[in-house]
Amino acid sequence: MNQNFNDSQIVFEDNHMMVINKKPGQLVQGDKTGDSSLLELIKDFIKKRDDKPGNVFLGLVHRIDRPTSGLVIYAKTSKALSRLTVMVKNREVKKTYWAIVAKEMIPKSQRLVHYLQKNEKTNKATVFIKPTENAKESILNYQTIKTLDNYQLLEINLETGRHHQIRAQLSKIGVPIKGDLKYGAPRSNPDGGISLHARKLEFEHPVTKENVEITAPVPQNDAIWKACED
């Protein structure tokens, strides 16, 4: 699992925020594993690069799962952090994901509505097709945008943001994400990650109010991902 950070992962930066293209396996912030997190690694990077004498302010705006790759926003000021956090909560940040799944017979595009219940002990979501006690309504829209020999590439837009939502809902319809053993994939990916990528972010800049649109290249050390991007 890759716990290093380098400046090639920075896809957008100004005085207010930094957007990172996270590698599979990188932690967005510290957890019980005690492994190095991007939050701390980026703080150290900024401190050295900008020769800052004091503490570096950096706030995590939203999370993506450790085995997932793609775009993560970090705020460099408290004002940007508070505004961006509200924007994410109000679903004013449009997130587009890419997922590689097996080439099974599923509709080319579909709106999936399920009910997800998070199990804290197993850190896994259980999916129900009908409203269920303690389960939250979970909605996503996907469309198939590329077909390879053994896989297909789905583009996904979320209407809700639930724990492991994309992973659990795709597994429920019979197409677990490539490498996602937790949700039924037959084998792991060589890098230990899963083939889910936070591909694109669109939002209004929290300070300048300009429209920001950012796209993250897929993991370049993976031949199937590269075939999807070609």
**Beta carbons of 224 and 101 less than 8 angstroms apart:** no
Select which of 65, 191, 222, 230 is catalytic.
Answer: 65
Residue 44: active-site member: no
DSSP secondary structure, the chain, as one string: ------GGGEEEE-SSEEEEEEPTT-BSS--TT---BHHHHHHHHHHHHTT-SSPPP-EE-----TT-EEEEEEESSHHHHHHHHHHHHTT-SEEEEEEEEE-----SEEEEEEEEEEETTTTEEEEESS--TT-EEEEEEEEEEEE-SSEEEEEEEESS--TTHHHHHHHHTT-PBTT-GGGT-SS--TTS--SEEEEEEEEE-TTT--EEEEEPPPPTT-HHHHHHH-
Q: Which residues are catalytic?
A: 65
